Chain A
């Protein structure tokens, strides 16, 4: 039977932003639909409305011409709409079987039979008796999918399903989704990954800042056209002007060693390098080869021998991050919500954490809130953070906005050196572009960057010199012009 799902004039507002602005869309079964948009474009809000988790302020949903009242997830389920959440919606300590049967009123035997049929049909193999916390991300997702399939859904919504999957698991998922679609299930696939849209979907709807901007067939699109629609402007291909950089040395690392007591950390041995003013040194490597330790040693989270780090003619190896900041170093750690910002604190409070003596954020132990807020507003406008509410908790910022805030916080004092670790990890194209432009600008102002990254393309695009870290050792430093990604690949694997 044909399924027709219609979203009509849906609006959902939150304080400070309109998550969905008068969105209307129509879907028909037999096709796989992509809902594409940057982080924070409103696609997750839209599908949460479809699954009854969020109630819209205005608008109607029709399934086969019936107006649905979706006031709770239960309503969505009753109306045959199934959803697989981005952050799994499973009970970790319950067994797989218990997770599968919890929302069903049917007999245990009937359910067991159904589950076994589904698993056989789609080639899923999962032990039903083990607790969910012992499963891999891919297996957890299969449990979620089975849970939807038990109810014979007409509509299946997948919210950024591949963000936690390996490549192998992703292609398995795509096979299953195509099979479901052939069997008449209407599939809505939410993502910001363009490649996946091209590979899997038949039609694509693009959202930007809460608005629907286009609906089109995949065969009329390509990656560039979709990227431009998603970001809303023609994406410039950024290229760094490679100039002859100065020979004025800014930071010099000599014989830096770090031996860890934690068996899961990597020891650093004999690190030597220097960075000149206006230069970007890229450090490539497969993650887990000592990047995190190197970042911590450079930022002062791990203190080392005083003489091992010379910065601006001062020996600073024994200083902590705050003291190093006073010497005009700045840091952007890898994990935005764990290391760089405190998720439960407001934007301006997070800004205040970067407390320079010169910034006068505190007077005699009291917080100078006006000063901090003024400073935060400047960061938000200078660095294009998409919010006007500096009292918003930082956890509610999208990854891209949070990264802009963090980089902005570091750069607003115009430091001489920025050390960043995977600055564009998990971001969408628009945000990546913005961060890259910002980093190039820093170099143009004759400031330096140490860029530790696992993204080779990013390194080749931004660096003047490149080195590779492998098992805690740095390779010799190469001129970025002479390096190819093949060569980096060999070095990253430990070859010569």
Chain B
């Protein structure tokens, strides 16, 4: 059997494409969690992003407005979360869960009028270079701008956290909001910003799904990707580069098990469908075993409300 190298390249590219929403949402949530806030509303924010992007694209016809509109929608819904958890000091877990339920419900309501409408083609870049290098070309060229952004994001996030002043402040707030406040850092402002940023990234991840990955609106189309994104953040021990690895493994296994089902491999379908979830978590746990590093990268105040009393 002759294997076409370009075909292998295409498979890898499709794996990467399926990893994009996971990377975007995880890197956003990572920043939120690094500031000590546990937002379980990722799924809800993603689906809001998905419907907003698709609806704006259909109504305005502008892709740019649609993409930024989806991010703005993510920001808006996360503002609700931020207001509740930071200003009204509600419990992070309960509020996050409510956000997801809210997001799924409201997206289904808005989405009713958009079911069955075909999406638009999203422009890709470096299209002309697609046939230049065997194997690598399909991987490197001919994708949307969001795709490139997603693969740059883990490195940008890592640099931001380790090397910049603001990144240091985010980590400090996540480590000890009391100490940060005593140092004169505005804990609420930092946490608000991180939550809103996470919302924007989740909105973008949703928009990628409904506008680029499968350009159409289907109810509940995020299909649990938000929860996987959350798991990636935790099991990668809050390390953006490991999120990239985890998202690739998850995407890879999802694609491969589809192909295995198609070929008719005699393994129960249920097992194949569960495979990506199990393997991703096992791999991440194994590569993040160093308990000292876990201690150092886990935001100590994660999920704890901070209230300053005078």
Contact = CB atoms under 8 A, between A and B. Distances in A.
Chains A and B form a bound pair: yes
Interface of A: 51-55, 72-75, 77, 85, 88-94, 98, 101-103, 131, 133
Interface in B158-208: 168-169, 171-172, 175-176, 178-185
B310 A102 contact: no
A85 B298 CA distance: 24
Interface string B7-45: 000000000000000000000000000000000000000
A75 B186 CA distance: 13
A108 to B, nearest CB: 9
Nearest to A52: B184
Contact of B179 (A52, A54, A90): A90
B182 A91 contact: no
Contacts of A103: 183-185
B182 A102 contact: no
B144 interface: no
B175 A93 contact: yes
B181 A73 contact: yes
B175 A94 contact: yes
A437 to B, nearest CB: 36
Contact of B183 (A54, A102, A131): A102
Contact of B184 (A77, A88, A92, A93): A77
Contacts of B300: 92-93
Given A73-B181, A89-B182, A92-B300, A102 B169 contact: yes
B173 to A, nearest CB: 9
A85 B168 contact: no
Contacts of A89: 176, 178-179, 182-183
B183 A93 contact: no
A77 B300 CA distance: 26
Contact of B296 (A74, A88, A93): A93
Contacts of B175: 91-94
A73 B310 contact: no
A199 to B, nearest CB: 29
A73 to B, nearest CB: 5
A392 to B, nearest CB: 15
B220 interface: no
Nearest to B184: A74
A344 B168 CA distance: 32
Nearest to B183: A103
- By secondary structure, the B interface counts as helix
A25 to B, nearest CB: 21
A440 to B, nearest CB: 40
Contacts of A75: 184
A102 B172 contact: yes
29 contacts: A52-B184, A54-B310, A55-B310, A73-B181, A73-B182, A74-B184, A77-B184, A88-B179, A89-B178, A89-B179, A89-B182, A91-B172, A91-B176, A91-B180, A92-B300, A93-B175, A93-B296, A93-B297, A94-B171, A98-B168, A98-B171, A102-B168, A102-B169, A102-B172, A102-B183, A102-B185, A103-B183, A103-B184, A133-B295
Interface of B: 168-169, 171-172, 175-176, 178-185, 295-298, 300, 310
Nearest to B172: A91
Contact of A73 (B171, B176, B184, B296): B184
A156 to B, nearest CB: 16
Interface core residue of A88, A90, A94, A98 (most chain B CB under 10 Å)? A94
A380 B91 CA distance: 35
A90 B181 CA distance: 11
Given A53-B182, A89-B179, 16 more contacts: A55-B310, A73-B183, A73-B184, A74-B183, A77-B184, A88-B179, A90-B176, A91-B175, A92-B175, A92-B176, A93-B297, A94-B175, A102-B168, A103-B183, A103-B184, A131-B296
A54 B298 CA distance: 30
A439 to B, nearest CB: 37
Nearest to A90: B179
A159 B310 CA distance: 18
Nearest to A88: B179
B129 to A, nearest CB: 40
A78 to B, nearest CB: 9
Contacts of A101: 168
Contacts of B171: 91, 93-94, 98
A93 B310 contact: no
Contacts of B184: 52, 72-75, 77, 103
A51 B180 CA distance: 14
A77 to B, nearest CB: 6
Nearest to B162: A98
A92 B301 CA distance: 11
A52 B308 CA distance: 13
Contacts of A92: 175-176, 300
Nearest to B180: A91
Nearest to A77: B184
Contacts of B310: 54-55
B170 to A, nearest CB: 11
Contacts of B179: 88-91
Contacts of A77: 184
Given A55-B310, A94-B172, A85 B182 contact: yes
Nearest to A72: B184
Nearest to B309: A54
Nearest to A131: B296
Indicate the member of A55, A101, A103, A131 with the most B CB atoms within 10 Å.
Answer: A103
Nearest to A133: B295
Contacts of A55: 310
Contacts of A51: 182
A310 to B, nearest CB: 47
A77 B184 CA distance: 8
Nearest to A71: B310
Nearest to A134: B292
Contacts of B182: 51, 53, 73, 85, 89
Contacts of B180: 91
Nearest to B173: A91
